[in-house]
A = this chain, B = another copy of it.
């Protein structure tokens, strides 16, 4: 059994970590960092799990575990990571260690940057970085928009001339703090964009695919639903494409990855509640095509991908525990 700890279990991502890890056949949730509220006070629906018993306020209790997940707001991980690093494997769901380049980090995040610690982290983009993750001790898990975008780009990135992405996310993407943006009375019928061509997840996309820096236009939208990201990428290709070329690239890129599915039509309801990311392609002409990707922002877009990383780091089957989370559909 992998003995895991969770720091930051009281938020939406923490909630999903609890859901996933508590049904994982080789995981024992050994410690949860106690926050202001007991975990069962924030999540009364989990009252039957007796999770309060595993809470501790002592960071030292995490040092002899096998793996610690952190899901804290941006900028809060370092306090704990500096205590735990080199003692346990770390998987951090925040943005704090995703970016290698100090200038890029500052451009998007405006805050201090700890190169010494950051250097110890590998970026958890599994489908592009599998071999490094296998050997890694510390993972910076990708952002949800960043992963949905990068999975759409990965098979084709070498011949992208220009790409325009519009991606819409549900209200859970903004976290559990109540704001006017997630007030049900408006959000249940609203759509609006924010941070057009300035969203922080662009730092990750450009790190993975530097040549897109001038050729990507990116619009994130907020929509009237709870879970999921649905992304549409219009791509102009440098090379001629046809369906057989595209299909062979998709196959080559994702064939060994259990949670990437190629569908004739992407549908958000097909992935919600699961770790799947579904992709579909529509060719316009020999130089233009559209690829769409969709995933559950809380699972493949966050906690599910983090557990998939854990499986890989501990040499377990990549899909262990996660393949049992079938899409809800309804």
Count A-side interface residues using an 8 Å CB cutoff.
79
Given contacts A270-B45, A290-B219, contact A282 B166 (CB under 8 A): no
Contact B330 A298 (CB under 8 A): yes
Q: Are A230 and B221 in contact (CB under 8 A)?
A: yes
The answer to whether the Cβ of A172 comes within 8 Å of any Cβ in the partner chain is yes
- CB within 8 A of A328: which of B49, B232, B267, B328? B328
Contact at A172–B185, with CB atoms within 8 Å?
Answer: yes
A282 and B23 contact, CB distance less than 8 A: no
What's the Cα separation between A223 and B189 when bound, in Å? 10
Q: How many copies make up the complex?
A: 4
Contact of A330 (CB < 8 Å), options: B47, B192, B227: B227
Among listed A95-103, A128-136, A258-266, interface-contacting one: A258-266
User: How many angstroms between the C-alpha atoms of A48 and B271 in the bound complex?
Assistant: 11
Which B residues are CB-close (under 8 A) to A45?
267, 269-271, 274, 276, 326-327, 329
Quick one: which of B270, B282, B330 contacts A185, CB cutoff 8 A?
A: B330
CB pair B226–A189 under 8 Å, yes or no, is yes
Q: Provide the bound-state CA to CA distance between A330 and B11, in Å.
A: 11
A171 at the interface (CB under 8 A from B): yes
Interface check A155, CB cutoff 8 A: no
With A221-B230, A324-B23, A324-B324 as known contacts, state yes or no: A168 contacts B189, CB within 8 Å. no
Of the candidate stretches A74-82, A113-121, A174-182, A248-256, the one touching chain B is A174-182
Q: Are A226 and B271 in contact (CB under 8 A)?
A: no
Q: Given the complex, which residues of B lie within 8 Å of A47, measured CB to CB?
A: 261, 263
- Say yes or no: B330 contacts A290, CB within 8 Å: no
CA distance A221 to B187 in the complex (A): 19
Residue among A43, A172, A186, A261 with the highest chain B CB neighbour number at 10 A: A186
Interface status of A315 (Cβ within 8 A of chain B): no
Verify B168–A168 contact, CB threshold 8 A: yes
Most chain B CB within 10 A, of A191, A217, A226, A328, is at A191
Question: A234 at interface (Cβ–Cβ under 8 A)?
Answer: yes
Q: Choose from B23, B188, B232, B263 the contact partner of A326 (Cβ within 8 Å).
A: B23
| Interface residue A225 (Cβ < 8 Å from any Cβ of B) | yes
Cβ contacts under 8 Å, A228 to chain B: 189, 191
Given contacts A224-B224, A234-B234, A261 and B48 within 8 Å (CB-CB): yes
